[in-house]
Amino acid sequence: MAAGSRDEREGTVIQRLGSRLSARVERWMPSPFLFAIFLTYIVFVAGLLVEGEGPVQMTQYWFDGFWILLSFTMQAVLVLVTGFVLAYHPFVQRQLTRLLSIPSTGRRALLLVGLLAMVIAWFHWGLGLIIGAILAREMGRQAHERGLNVHYPLLCVAGFMGLALTWNMGLSGAAVLLMNTPNNVFIQQGLIDSLVPISRTIFHPQMITLLILGIIYVLALLYLLSPPDSEKEGMTEFVPESELGEFVETEDEPATPDGGETAAATDTTDGPHSTETVPADRINNSRILGGVIALSGVAITIYTFATQGLNALNLNTVNFAFLFIGFALFTSPEAYAEQFGEAVTSASDIILQFPFYAGIIGMMTNSGLAGTIAESIVGFAGTETFPAAVVIISTIVNTFVPSGGGEWTVIGPIVIPAAQNLDVPLGQTMIAYTFGASLADLIQPFWALPLLGITSMRARDIFGYTIMMLILALPFFLVAITVVPYAGSFWSGIIPF
């Protein structure tokens, strides 16, 4: 809907600003892949002008960095894919559909989708991203059928808020888990001599308090940004009604019968159209075999946490746990492999674009540009304002390096010594970092790619609202991270830790 066709006299100031910004972004925002290319050239030129590097040297930095995220890329892909597989299990989808039948108004639907997306992403960012997208699409479909007046672009933003707020602070947050991973890059570099346990980050009272306040504030923003009824655009404005369909499967189990008795099993010895079930089919689809594999993985996960406690949480244990939880849900090895294969397609854009962002990391790190950004901001900070400075640094850098763990490897070597010099606890520094890194996703479309595919939206359809969310949320979190204390004496007797 063009900006000029809107009645700007309707709605609150926030609603009008959100609508205007959404209209502008819809006209001008490029595709996420071109966004990555543009950022590449911006960093290239900045290296020339700010750091005085030559074009050949900047090109070499880009080339040298292109593959530095291969290991982390695989970890990120597994987080996303394991979450995708769980989200698309029929049992999970049925429960989501029942939940979404509860709201009786468009705004309540918006708040429910946002709340569920943020809570689930705290447990697992890949699961939160995919379920958030499913919630947005399914709620849009139900709203169309039930006559609820809901603005579909903002509904998709609500489904994305898990990635834009809570995931970095949760159980699969890359940076905090990296700091708790033995022999991590910062220990190897001699910047720290011991791990930073999650009791000082994820489960610290300051983090929990800020997380709760943040969720409440974001829900309030979603409510306030919802346009007047006359301006709301339902799902059918973006998705043809013929394509809405029944988004959630109705089967009780994945479509693989017990014992491997598949209707389309093929015996290759009798030709391509044979329907005879052979022993290999029974083995491939054996729920007994799948159950044994699943139980083995789940048992190892339980043993790991029983012997090491919650400090066992790191990217590898998270991926391992969710990989076998998915196996336990599907049980049939063949059914799980097929669903896993379908889920991998959701990560195709990550596989394509991550090397380009790794190249950006190479240029920012080797040219000294990332250090210049961090040092210029840290230089104005004192002990009390240092956490807010870290929020700003991580928000800026994450726009160019959309990876919680990848970005932290870039700015950590500058931020960690500064925190130590100011006697700011590393746990508090990490908490501040997680907020900025999450908020940057509101202007960086990279992690929205799976959501856009599931909801049939374009980045420019929703990023006017996400940018507005950032404008309204960043000042709140800068104040909150400053006034909510980290010191243990404040929390003693309130929350044990």
For residue range 118-153, list pLDDT tens digits in order.
999 998 887 788 889 889 988 998 999 899 999 999
More confident of the two residues 220 and 9: 220
Confidence bin at 37 (pLDDT 50/70/90): very high
Contact 462/156 with Cβ under 8 angstroms? yes
333 lies in the same domain as 384? no
Residue 261 lies in a domain: no
**SS3 sequence of 31-83:** CHHHHHHHHHHHHHHHHHHHCCCCHHHHHHHHHHHCCCCHHHHHHHHHHHHHH
- What's the whole-number average pLDDT of the chain? 84
Confidence bin at 19 (pLDDT 50/70/90): confident
374 lies in the same domain as 466? yes
Residue 13 lies in a domain: no
In the predicted model, is pLDDT for residue 264 greater than 70? no
Residue 166 is given by DSSP the state I
Beta-carbon count within 10 A of 497 CB = 13
Segment 210-235 shows an average pLDDT of 93
Q: What is the pLDDT of residue 207?
A: 96
Percent of the chain with pLDDT over 70: 89
In terms of residue numbers, what domain contains 324?
273-344
What pTM was estimated for this model as a whole? 0.79
354 lies in the same domain as 216? yes
Confidence bin at 251 (pLDDT 50/70/90): very low
In the predicted model, is pLDDT for residue 245 greater than 80? no
335 lies in the same domain as 391? no
164 lies in the same domain as 236? yes
331 lies in the same domain as 434? no
Contact 319/78 with Cβ under 8 angstroms? yes
Beta-carbon count within 10 A of 7 CB = 11
In the predicted model, is pLDDT for residue 2 greater than 50? no
In the predicted model, is pLDDT for residue 437 greater than 50? yes
The gap from C-alpha 222 to its chain's centroid, in whole angstroms, comes to 18
Count the domains in the chain: 2
Secondary structure of residue 443 in the 3-state scheme: coil
More confident of the two residues 288 and 63: 63
Token couple for 54: 């030559």
Contact 221/154 with Cβ under 8 angstroms? no
Token couple for 222: 């979603």
Which of these three, 281, 314, 344, is where a domain ends?
344
More confident of the two residues 234 and 256: 234
The gap from C-alpha 476 to its chain's centroid, in whole angstroms, comes to 21
356 lies in the same domain as 337? no
Q: What is the pLDDT of residue 119?
A: 96
What is 321-387 written as a DSSP string? HHHHHHHHHH--HHHHHHHHHHHHGGGHHHHHHHHHHHHHHHHHHHTSHHHHHHHHHHTT--TTTHH
